[in-house]
Copies of this chain bind each other. A is one copy, B any other.
Amino acid sequence: MSKRILPLAAMEHLLKKKSSAVRVSNSAKEALRDILEEIGQEIGEKAVRLANHSGRKTIKDIDIKLAHKS
C-alpha cells in the first residue's frame, strides 16, 4: 500500500510537533505516511492536468494550490 517515499522519522517529527511528550508507535508513522503519500499523489495528478490545461509541461505552485483546493 505504501510507496515508502516519505521518511518515517519525518512522520514522527510531524506527529510530535504540537505535543512532544507523546510517544508514537511505528504503525502510526506508517499509517501517516500512507495517508500523506496518497494525498500527495492525488494532488500531483490534478496539478499535472491543470498545468497541461494551461499549456505548460512544468508544474508550478499555482497548480499545486488549485489542485489542493478542488
B44 touches A18 (CB 8 A): yes
How far is it, in angstroms, between the C-alpha of A11 and the C-alpha of B16 when the chains are bound?
21
Q: What band does the interface of chain A fall in when counting residues whose beta carbon is under 8 Å from B? A: 35 or more
List of B residues within 8 angstroms of A47 by Cβ: 15, 28
With contacts A25-B58, A27-B60 taken as known, whether A43 is within 8 angstroms of B48 at the C-beta atoms is no
A53 at the interface (CB under 8 A from B): no
CB pair B31–A48 under 8 Å, yes or no, is no
Q: Which A residues lie at the B interface, using CB under 8 A?
A: 3, 5-7, 10-11, 13-19, 21-25, 27-28, 30-32, 35-37, 39-41, 43-45, 47-48, 51, 57-61, 63-65, 68
